[in-house]
A and B are shown apart, each in its own frame.
Chain A
């Protein structure tokens, strides 16, 4: 069965600290993986996708097929990074996304 697991409901750090939001998936094929973010009072939006191998707002995520992980990382957290983060998987040949349960990141000053 396809599944996305985000083990942390809440992650609290101080400004300037490194951040890692964990995401593990189960899928037998080659998935597409995404991170979506929802800032307070804003709509859910795409942060980054593994296929692009890009850094957005200082965040990066590397697909590790051996560990079936797609952790989101940022070396120095900022207060404006405080938001809800969702990891999502799309199986090959479908248009549907499977979302994890989300991790709320709080960055304190």
Chain B
């Protein structure tokens, strides 16, 4: 059973702080993704990684960076948090087989004050 875990369920930070969100998967998946989920906007891809140290921008990468030093771990970094980054952040992982599904973590609800 695939398990994707995220370091925090809830996080409250102040404007300007550096924020780290971590995601770990235990299925040896090559692909990992970070999304933000907002009401009325659905899921929007921030960044994804298809291999260790490899990353690609998604649809809304501004204000974010990522790090993938190990295959199982994918970190999302907010260099200087802003109030408009208050959101639910979802991590997902997937293998590279055809028709593969994405497996999601439980989400981190980040509030930036």
| A interface residue numbers (CB < 8 A to B) | 6, 9, 32, 34, 43-46, 49, 51-52, 86, 95-102
**A32 contacts which chain B residues (CB < 8 A)?**
99
Residue in B48, B58, B106 whose beta carbon sits within 8 Å of that of A43 in the complex: B106
Contact B42 A99 (CB under 8 A): yes
Contact B107 A95 (CB under 8 A): no
| B contact face: mostly helix, strand, loop, or mixed | strand
Contact B105 A43 (CB under 8 A): yes
Contact B101 A34 (CB under 8 A): yes
Known: A43-B4, A98-B45. 8 other contacts (CB 8 A): A9-B40, A32-B99, A44-B90, A44-B104, A45-B104, A86-B42, A95-B48, A97-B102
Q: Give the number of residue pairs across the A-B interface with Cβ within 8 Å.
A: 47
Contact B101 A95 (CB under 8 A): no
Chain B residues touching A, range:
20 to 34
With contact pairs A34-B101, A49-B101 given, residues A95 and B42 touching in the complex (Cβ less than 8 Å): no
A9 to B44, CA, bound (A): 16
**A9 contacts which chain B residues (CB < 8 A)?**
40
Distance (whole angstroms) from the CB of A32 to the closest CB of chain B: 6
Shortest Cβ distance from A102 into B: residue: B42
A101 to B39, CA, bound (A): 8
Contact B107 A46 (CB under 8 A): no
| B interface residue numbers (CB < 8 A to A) | 4, 31, 33, 35, 40-45, 48, 50, 58, 90, 92, 94, 96, 99-107
A101 to B58, CA, bound (A): 16
A59 to B92, CA, bound (A): 24
A102 to B31, CA, bound (A): 23
**A100 contacts which chain B residues (CB < 8 A)?**
42
A44 to B92, CA, bound (A): 9
Contact B104 A43 (CB under 8 A): yes
Shortest Cβ distance from B40 into A: residue: A101
Shortest Cβ distance from B6 into A: residue: A43
Contact A95 B99 (CB under 8 A): no
Distance (whole angstroms) from the CB of B8 to the closest CB of chain A: 15
A44 to B90, CA, bound (A): 9
